[in-house]
Chains A and B, each alone.
Chain A
Amino acid sequence: MEEFKFIGKSVKRLDEKEKVTGAAKYVDDIDFGPNLLYAEIIESPHPHALIKSIDTSEAEKMEGVVKVVTGKDFPYKFGLYMKDRYIFAQDRVRFIGEQVAAVIARDPRIAQKAAKLVKVEYEPLQPVFDPIEALKEDAVIIHPDLGNYPHVPWFFPKGGTNLTHRLKLRKGNTEKGFKDADFILEDTYRVPRYAHCCLETHIAVGLLDYSGRLTVWASTQSPYTQRNLFADALAPLGFSHKDIRVIAPYVGGGFGGKAGVTMEIIATALATTVKGHPVKVMWRRDQEFYNTYMRQQVVTKIKAGVKKDGTITAFEMANYWDAGPYAEYGANVVNASGLSATGPYRIPNVSIDSYCIYTNLPAAGPYRGFGYSEMSFSVESHMTRIANAIGIDQVEFRRKNGIKEGDTVAYGAPMNPNGLLEAIDKVADEINWGKKEESKDPNKAIGKGLSIFWKAPAMPPNVTTSAFIKFNEDGSLNILVSGMELGQGYLTVMAQVAAEILSVPIEKIRVELPDTDRNPYHWQTVASHVTWASGNAVKRAALEMRDKIFEVVHAAYHYDKDSLYLEDEKVKCKLHPSFELPLRDFVINGIQTKDGTYRGGAIVGSGSFMPEFTSAKQDPETSQGGHPNVHYTVGAGAVKIEVDKQTGKIRVLKAVEAVDAGKALNPRNVEHQIIGGLLQGLATVLYEDMRFDENGKILNPNFTDYKIPTFLDIPDEVVPIIVEVPQPDGPFGARGIAEHTMIPAAPIIANAVEDAIGIRVKTMPITAEKIAMAVANNKKEVTDFLMIMKK
């Protein structure tokens, strides 16, 4: 094993001091000066309606109102993978809360008052909220122009319907696979919508200065992607990318919700109407729920066949995803999770159809896990039931069918090196798998659940990233990257990578938050790929600097470059043990030679990284032939719970999760991802319960009624476990783990509930109410789905 000084060490977070002193600046903490204007949004009260007229005259008359803007001012579409979203609604609205117009005023209270004076006349249309209903032939069409929308080549929208994308995957022969099976189980599972609930709501401030430069400060995961989409959406205004600047200060939580572009385009567009004045758009908590992205709802039908010995022979699945009325990002959730929907199993015959469907609920899109959490709930519930039905222990079943390095995944690519079996064994061991435990309280029952997971980064095949590093006079470093510190510890880990190569201690390194004027390109901080991709770019930049250092020393001292190495901020030489040259002595002003002249100059490094083996050129009828994913990160989770049979309340006695980080560059950060991500996942199954009324209006867009966990709702014990099977092309063997930590949470609870009280819940969430009702009514299966309240 290579010995590292900084890699694999739980060094302190670079950002922690700023965060515990209140010094860390988030967008709303920046002083934008006395010219700052505030925007208030006029929102649709209808889930689906035509806009007949908008009268802004009364609002415009109010003192303090600077401007009222409507869809007529910005007849442009935008979107990440498909252009189907509007800056402001045009001829129609498609969900309750959609932005129809905006009042810009000098004071937020005036903006709010004036917004009430904007009169919008609507002609209501029939709405549709259920994805399967929306696919029916007589369903109301939400986007009559769908057939004309630009999109990436791997989407297949069907004009004249609500089907915005269909992922079709075929491997082997499922008909034969089911014939070979001794046992077949077929069932339907349902996962409702969820909200990210970042503590900081979305906020963006746009400013078009008098010279024509457009600057946007945003709480964002995606400064470069936003700049690109702003330039694209506002193309008629003629901005060059160089004249748009996106500045990304600290972000108060992202979880996918601040990827791509949602409300930021509103602040950007409004800024272009009031030159010289910054315009702030900040979502209130309720807007944060309904007008960014939600997690999608999905109905999953699975049929799987096994032999008596537990070998899986065939797997057939249909997923009906409710993307809301704008699927520009959500369709890629459907695509990516569809390609990998088998979960980490070796299955010879596979058929998967994933449908991305427009509905009149709010727009849905990326959320930590990117569809894999939803697939995991159904697949891992199903696999557990199959193992139990044929009398094979679940752990044994998963060990037998779990995917191994070199196995072929469903779309035909080979599986990367991974520690799936080690993860299974470690969580099983930690939870005392196989040992039945009894509660002392006769009204309570103890159960255990286990599941396995995988996830690949979902990205375009040519996604890229880059890094600049520069030395300062004292040998300290500034690293410029455009990945985002979302809390995962990105800044710290990038510093560790550079420290390892350049022998500069962490205390002497700053990693700068993104500013598209200064920091080089990075696509987006999503997909749990920044440790891997940005880490590779930083490593390359640091290696380039090391080469330059050796070059300078060689030029001045004529030592063979291959004999030079860095240690403790000094250049040393294997052939001349007495030689030591501190970096601070020359990395800016060079090395003086005998004749008084100098060699060298300020040392800077640059590095970029793009996977060069990926392709999205798969056959649309089978999804075979491409190489859409760079690699998978795998793991396993398990839980021990106590269920109160009278109240239905679940207490998590112990939760365990193992994830294969390849190489944990900062083990404590990995453990903290596991602890935090697992609770976020447990919340989706135990507490969070989004409800809409019969018109598609969200009823609980706040933390009083949409329950995210408090200190009192955490498991009694959480055990994070790190597995390390190196990723060959990762920096020091690392791969991403952050999103993954959420994925096993829902099925481990569902499986543990069945183990405890013999009730299989096939719909999320698994609330106390559902369990208590099932016990009271003596039901063995629960299929109630409560997301949309009936009249």
Chain B
Amino acid sequence: MKKISFILNGEKRNAYVEPNDLLVDVLREKLGMHSIKYACGRGDCGACTVLLNGKGVRSCIILAIEADGQEILTVEGLSKDKLTSLQESFIDQGSFQCGFCAPGMIMSATELLNKNPNPTEEEVKEGLSGNLCRCTGYTPIIKAVLDVNEKDVDKK
């Protein structure tokens, strides 16, 4: 077991991990971040996406020790006070159905909007193409992301 430390959703957190522990397991099982979903285990679907130093990563194919000393953001971190404009937009559009892809999708979309506050439809599709959703046909998600343009973009 090795002790690692990182900033998780703005707070300093520690965890004791095995060298082969995956980030997704440590965040879910040891640190209670259950928004992150495990769905494919090989980086195909994006349900486990978290932001590592602001960049979207697949926490199911990253070792926990790689996050030592870094900064991690999950949906729990976005939802602490009031919701972000993006989350509000998803609610307004009724974008998600089963909701299992939502936390990962929201983190990818947050990264996209942080880098590019006014994306085109093509840029939204390209930016989110690593996140799979089986329910929605994607259109209501695209609509919600584009709709954030109309509002204040939360530059969290």
Residues of A within 8 A of B (CB): 10, 12-13, 15-26, 28-29, 196-201, 250-255, 284-285, 486-489, 668-669, 672, 675-680, 702-704, 708-712, 714, 718
Contacts and interface: CB of A to CB of B under 8 A. Distances in A.
Interface in B41-90: 41-42, 44-45, 47, 74-76, 78-79, 83, 87, 90
A212 to B, nearest CB: 30
Given A22-B79, A199-B37, A675-B139, A708 B132 contact: yes
B137 A19 contact: no
A522 B91 CA distance: 29
Contact of A17 (B34, B91, B95, B131): B91
Contacts of A12: 91-92, 94
A10 B93 CA distance: 10
B102 A20 contact: yes
Given A19-B102, A712-B125, A672 B94 contact: yes
Interface string B25-38: 00010000111111
Contact of A252 (B37, B42, B125): B37
Interface in B83-136: 83, 87, 90-92, 94-103, 106, 124-126, 128-136
B138 interface: yes
Contacts, number: 161
Say what secondary structure dominates the interface of chain A: loop
A29 B124 contact: no
A251 B99 CA distance: 8
Contacts of B128: 711
Interface centre among A22, A23, A678, A679 (most CB of B within 10 A): A22
B97 A250 contact: no
Contact of B96 (A255, A487, A702, A703): A487
Interface of B: 28, 33-42, 44-45, 47, 74-76, 78-79, 83, 87, 90-92, 94-103, 106, 124-126, 128-142
A22 B76 contact: yes
Interface centre among B36, B92, B139 (most CB of A within 10 A): B139
A20 B44 contact: no
Given A711-B128, A711-B142, A672 B136 contact: yes
A199 B94 contact: no
B156 to A, nearest CB: 14
B134 A255 contact: yes
Contact of B98 (A28, A250, A703, A712): A250
20 contacts: A12-B91, A16-B95, A20-B87, A20-B91, A21-B79, A23-B79, A29-B28, A29-B34, A197-B134, A198-B100, A199-B101, A201-B39, A489-B97, A668-B94, A680-B134, A702-B42, A710-B132, A711-B141, A714-B138, A718-B137
Nearest to B40: A285
B99 A250 contact: yes
Contacts of A489: 94, 97
Say what secondary structure dominates the interface of chain B: loop
A21 B100 CA distance: 12
A199 B132 contact: yes
A199 B34 contact: no
Nearest to A254: B98
A486 B75 contact: no
B108 to A, nearest CB: 10
Contacts of B103: 22
Contacts of A704: 42, 44
Given A16-B99, A675-B137, A718-B139, 18 more contacts: A10-B94, A13-B91, A15-B99, A16-B94, A20-B102, A21-B79, A24-B102, A25-B34, A199-B39, A199-B100, A252-B39, A487-B99, A487-B135, A675-B136, A703-B42, A710-B132, A711-B131, A712-B129
A22 B44 contact: no
A672 B97 contact: yes
A21 B124 CA distance: 21
B50 to A, nearest CB: 11
B94 A678 contact: no
Nearest to B122: A712
A714 B129 contact: no
Contact of B134 (A15, A19, A28, A253): A253
Nearest to A16: B91
Given A198-B134, A702-B42, A486 B98 contact: yes
Contact of A24 (B87, B90, B99, B137): B99
A443 to B, nearest CB: 23
Contacts of A714: 125, 137-139
Contacts of A488: 97
Give me the 6 closest cross-chain CB pairs, A-B, nearest first: A22-B35, A487-B97, A252-B100, A19-B99, A487-B98, A703-B44
Contacts of B36: 22
Contacts of A29: 28, 34
A20 B96 contact: yes
B80 to A, nearest CB: 10
B45 to A, nearest CB: 6
A17 B142 CA distance: 18
Nearest to B98: A487
B73 to A, nearest CB: 12
A677 B136 CA distance: 8
A675 B142 CA distance: 13
Contacts of B134: 196-199, 253, 255, 680, 708
